[in-house]
Structure 1
Amino acid sequence: MVVAALLSLLLVWLFIRASKAQGWGQPVRKDGPQTHLIKEGTPTAGGVPFVLALALVFFPLYFTGHAGGPRELLIMLTALGMGLIGGIDDFLKVRSRMKGSGKKELIAREKMPLQLLVGLLFGWFAAPLAAHELVPGFGQIGDTILLTLVMIGSVNAFNFTDGLDGLLGGVAIIVLLPLLALSPVSALLVAVILGFLWFNAHPAKVFMGDMGSHAIGAIAAGAYVLYADVWLLPLAAIIPVVAVLSVVIQVVSFRTRKKRVFKMSPIQHHFELSGWPETHVTLRFWVVTAVATAAVWWILGGRP
């Protein structure tokens, strides 16, 4: 974990230098919190170097027998698959900003089939390896469908949680704490996120982007399915769940009633526009996650 954290720190630092030299900056929504306007031009896609650091440390350990068995490989490959989808999105955003034209990002109908493919592969191989029974009577096909939905839901929920300095990184670390002794991939992810957070702490010198958030969501889902209990994931990841629900509620309300429920979604931006400083939103969301994860830890302690 120390090696992974230091490697992540180095790669993220190099990435920031390269990003500034090339002008790979993040545009900021003008209708969002006004305090975000100073973030215009901050390097984005910072998840690329820490996911690279994760892979560079994991695979040598795995192939020398020091990083677990098939479960860990499945989690890692799924994270890389989902991360690649997010990476394509990051690449399109950066290229569009540099050129001033071209495709700006993957839209939902392009991204969803790719996530579905990776999710199905995960679900099929994970169902027989799940730590606890999923739904009695479902069988392999039913369990595969369930785990596919869990994987896709987790990836998008963690993706929607991004947007404030340090928010997603801190939430992800807390969510994964109960599984550090069980899942080497989870432990290494926590380490590389720590290296990333050195630069992502407020005021952020780099933003995570979709590759990082997609990989985090995939590892969180995979680890809870294979080492804990799939039904505990929504409790530990209560903030990502609320974030994605706020987006769904906002979209449905606006399309059906032409009214917005929140000042802005995901919900972290609603609190910002309600007057909470960005650092307060981040810290309070960490606290909520810590309480929820503590409850998960307590539940897991009472199970065989």
Structure 2
Amino acid sequence: MMVVAALLSWFLVGLFIRMSKARGWGQPIRAEGPESHLKKVGTPTAGGVPFTIALALVFFALYFTGKITDPRELLIMLTGLAMGIIGGIDDLLKVRWQMNGGKGKKELLAREKFPLQLLVALVFAWFAAPLAAHELVPGLGGIGGVPIWDILLLTFVMIGSVNAFNFTDGIDGQLAGVGMIVLLPLLALSPVSALLVAVLLGYLWFNAHPARVFMGDMGSHAIGAIAAGAWILYADVWLLPLVALIPVLEVVSVVMQVAYFKRTGRRIFRMTPIHHHFEKLDKPWPETHIALRFWVVTGITTALAWWLLGGRP
């Protein structure tokens, strides 16, 4: 079914690109960003929508025919879709804003997006805490029979993962490659992880540099949620920051930059998230070098995490 998922994603993403170009659904580019990105103005965005649809179609076809029966899989898939829908609302607002000549609401504000993410993460954590593959918070029991500390931890991890993977998007092919590598150790354990890798392969056909489509928030939110859910339920939540080191560094770079600038009026990095810093160097790294090197780092950290797990969760 991975082949079917990959081909369906490839077909739907290609169809989406044609529809987007016909309707002028293009990506606005920040003027203060890397100069090399200015030529990308008008490239279709929200490419995560078609590959998420492909993922859902294949997954639920398998689920309703009884080929996927593990409740953990349904929990991961529903969480990924819910987070993806939140990102999809953001994508829709951006496209409408662009089509309306910069008028109207441009995107979801953080104070609007965070409560939605928090609600989805809490629901996930409530059901995931008893199913987690490893002990979450050693030595701390629950309150009134409810594993409250585990729920709080998993809520934080889910929200952090979704936003960290979202910040990782911004270089052609970067997030798709990082997302696939993070999930590779779980292919034989988690069908939804295997299907996500497959649909990302279909998407990467068009997102490889120079990208013909950008992912948008729906895709990045779904990837972050599924990666977090799979590592929590099949491996070890404490190894997720190691596996997802690149997304962690991306979001940490933004936090550091904002905090330092508010305190001193100066910047630590030339631009954040950190992948843009390398594009702004006096001798800038090409996009392909940044993406490939971040893939390599992710491959090393994922292999290390797999070794720490003893080769199997």
Name the TM-score, length of structure 2 as normaliser: 0.96
Maintained 8 Å contact 1:247/1:266: yes
Q: Provide the aligned C-alpha RMSD in A.
A: 0.9
Give the aligned partner of residue 246 of structure 2. 239
| Offset from partner CA, 1:209-229 (integer Å, 9 cap, x none) | 000000000000000000000
Give the aligned partner of residue 276 of structure 1. 285
Q: How does 1:229-268 map to 2 (within 5 A)?
A: 229-268=236-275
1:121 aligns with 2:123: yes
Q: How does 1:33-44 map to 2 (within 5 A)?
A: 33-44=34-45
Distance 2:111 2:96 in 1: 21
Partner secondary structure for residue 301 of structure 1: coil
1:236 maps to a residue whose letter is: V
Give the aligned partner of residue 7 of structure 1. 8
| Offset from partner CA, 1:179-234 (integer Å, 9 cap, x none) | 00000000000000000000000000000000000000000000000000001110
Greater CA drift, 294-303 or 8-17: 294-303
Query: Which runs of 5 or more structure 2 residues have no equivalent in the other structure?
Result: none
| 1:138 Cα deviation from its structure 2 partner | 4.1
Give the aligned partner of residue 296 of structure 1. 305
| 1:31 Cα deviation from its structure 2 partner | 0.9
Maintained 8 Å contact 2:306/2:312: no
Give the aligned partner of residue 189 of structure 1. 196
2:24 maps to a residue whose letter is: G
Displaced runs of 4 or more, over 4 A: none
1:96 maps to a residue whose letter is: W
Q: How does 1:143-182 map to 2 (within 5 A)?
A: 143-182=150-189
Distance 1:254 1:138 in 2: 40
| Offset from partner CA, 1:96-155 (integer Å, 9 cap, x none) | 000020000001000000000000000000000000000021421111111000000000
Give the aligned partner of residue 52 of structure 2. 51
Give the aligned partner of residue 214 of structure 2. 207
Maintained 8 Å contact 1:90/1:209: yes
Percent identity of paired positions between Structure 1 and Structure 2: 75
**Paired residues, what number?**
304
Distance 1:80 1:303 in 2: 27
Name the TM-score, length of structure 1 as normaliser: 0.99
Query: Which runs of 5 or more structure 1 residues have no equivalent in the other structure?
Result: none
Give the aligned partner of residue 105 of structure 2. 103
Maintained 8 Å contact 2:158/2:228: yes
1:288 maps to a residue whose letter is: V
Distance 2:73 2:5 in 1: 16
1:237 maps to a residue whose letter is: A
Distance 1:302 1:23 in 2: 48
Distance 1:96 1:173 in 2: 31
